[in-house]
DNA sequence: GTTGCTGCAAACCCTTTGCATAGGA
DNA sequence: TCCTATGCAAAGGGTTTGCAGCAAC
């Protein structure tokens, strides 16, 4: 698919980067939904995958501008949903009263711990919890697709 | 505090209703914060405790109006925070793109399962999960204050 | 060539704020 | 009485939308 020189030999399609994986995933999603594969959508995807933090729409728009890619705010907003539906982008609630995002690929299910003293955010994951959540979903006759979990706490005094 | 006839004898302060408990809690919170105990704040508290579902600010405003209590939207917004701080009201994210609330008293920690097929919401709780979350918080040097957990899934085909 | 996408700017909606007045303590 | 809270209406900020031109397929 990609002809970018990713390693010395091109014999085996050596492990694709997260971006390449996302690109392929997005391309398929767009095709399935009969949406066009436009340069703007690719630019947005690139920036989403380039950022490894939590970002607002405004910050993403700034990133794009900084990278020399002109994508209007309207187009940005219009395409966030398809990125979410494609399983590439996820909303994050950090309790700070504005929507933030993070990319999903290369991360897998995880959740956020937020320190209420200073707003610091850490990520973590737990197979044990996931297993419990799946059981809970099943109990209510659901197949778990995803979950959102935020743990809020104050700094522990020893 | 309240002289409303809650039972035959007034010998022992028999189990207070959720509303009475919330009222007391709120009164103390307001005093601690040096905020006034106004009729509007009481009216809002009443409605919050009267609703046993998830509601938006707009819906709460409608409830108040329907109950014959005139509270302006501005006042409503201005007082949501103190209700949250008092531990009476909590925000709920049901993945439907607008803030909703629920009252906390008489419910305790719980979480929401959301069906992606039709948006149906169920509540549940799990001591096991809470224990894990506390351990996780501790691991990151936090004292857990609260958590938000939403489980999304599609209806299970047997 | 057709159809859907983008950019622009205006519209929208929810929430916050300034100011004069009302009402707790 | 003093000072905060309220109501109103206007402002604010983030998100959506209508329309004309442009770019995928």
| Phi, psi (rounded to 5 degrees) for A65 | -60, -45
Mean pLDDT of all residues in A45-69: 97
Range 34-73, chain A: CB under 7 Å to any strand D atom: 36-39, 56-58, 73
pLDDT of residue B110: 94
Q: What is the mean pLDDT of chain A?
A: 90
Mean pLDDT of all residues in A135-155: 95
Percent of chain B with pLDDT over 70: 92
Q: What is the mean pLDDT of chain B?
A: 90
pLDDT of residue B8: 39
pLDDT of residue A9: 42
Contacts of B102 (CB under 8 A, 6+ apart): B53, B54, B55, B89, B90, B92
| Phi, psi (rounded to 5 degrees) for A100 | -130, 165
Q: From the CA of A35, how many Å to the C1' of C3?
A: 11
Q: Tell me which residue in A93, A145, A155 faces B152 most closely, judged by beta carbons.
A: A145
Asked if B123 contacts B92 with a C-beta cutoff of 8 angstroms, the reply is no
**Is the confidence at residue A147, as pLDDT, over 90?**
yes
**Is the confidence at residue B2, as pLDDT, over 50?**
no
Higher pLDDT, B73 or B107: B73
Going by CATH, does the domain composed of A8-103 fall within 1.10.10.10?
yes
Nucleotide in closest CA–C1' contact with B72: D7
Q: From the CA of A73, how many Å to the C1' of D5?
A: 39
Which residue matches tokens 């719980």? B110
Nucleotide in closest CA–C1' contact with A75: C6
Q: Tell me which residue in B124, B133, B155 faces A136 most closely, judged by beta carbons.
A: B124
**CB atoms A137 and B93 under 8 Å:** no
Percent of chain A with pLDDT over 70: 92
**Is the confidence at residue A121, as pLDDT, over 50?**
yes
Superfamily of domain A111-153: Ferric-uptake regulator, C-terminal dimerisarion domain (3.30.1490.190)
Q: Tell me which residue in B133, B143, B148 faces A154 most closely, judged by beta carbons.
A: B143
User: Using one digit for the tens of pLDDT, what is the confidence trace for A93-107?
Assistant: 998 888 999 999 878
Q: From the CA of B146, how many Å to the C1' of C11?
A: 39
Strand D bases near protein CB (under 7 Å) are 4-10, 14-18, 23-25
Is A35 within 7 A of strand C by CB distance?
yes
Q: Decide if A92 touches B, using CB distance below 8 A.
A: no
**Residue A67 in tokens:** 């990278």
Q: Which of A21-35, B29-43, B102-116 has the lowest mean pLDDT?
A: B102-116
pLDDT of residue B12: 56
- What residue ranges do the domains of chain B occupy? 8-103, 111-153
User: Using one digit for the tens of pLDDT, what is the confidence trace for A35-48?
Assistant: 999 999 999 999 99
* CA atoms lying within 13 Å on the CB side of residue A107: 21
Asked if A88 contacts A25 with a C-beta cutoff of 8 angstroms, the reply is yes
Is B56 within 7 A of strand C by CB distance?
yes
């Amino acid at each position: 698919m990609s002809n970018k020189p990713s390693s010395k030999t091109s014999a085996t399609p050596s492990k694709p980067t997260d971006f390449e994986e996302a690109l392929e995933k997005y391309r398929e999603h767009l095709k399935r939904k009969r949406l066009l594969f436009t340069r703007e959508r690719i630019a947005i995807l690139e920036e989403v995958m380039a950022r490894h933090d939590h970002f607002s729409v405004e910050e993403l728009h700034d990133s794009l501008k900084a990278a020399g890619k002109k994508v209007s705010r309207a187009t940005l907003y219009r395409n966030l949903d398809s990125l979410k539906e494609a399983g590439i982008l996820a909303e994050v609630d950090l309790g700070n009263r504005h929507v933030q995002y993070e990319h999903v690929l290369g991360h897998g299910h995880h959740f956020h711990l937020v320190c209420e003293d200073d707003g610091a955010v850490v990520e973590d994951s737990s197979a044990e919890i996931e297993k419990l959540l799946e059981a809970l979903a099943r109990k209510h006759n659901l197949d778990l697709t995803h979950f959102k979990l935020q743990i809020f706490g104050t700094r522990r005094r020893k």
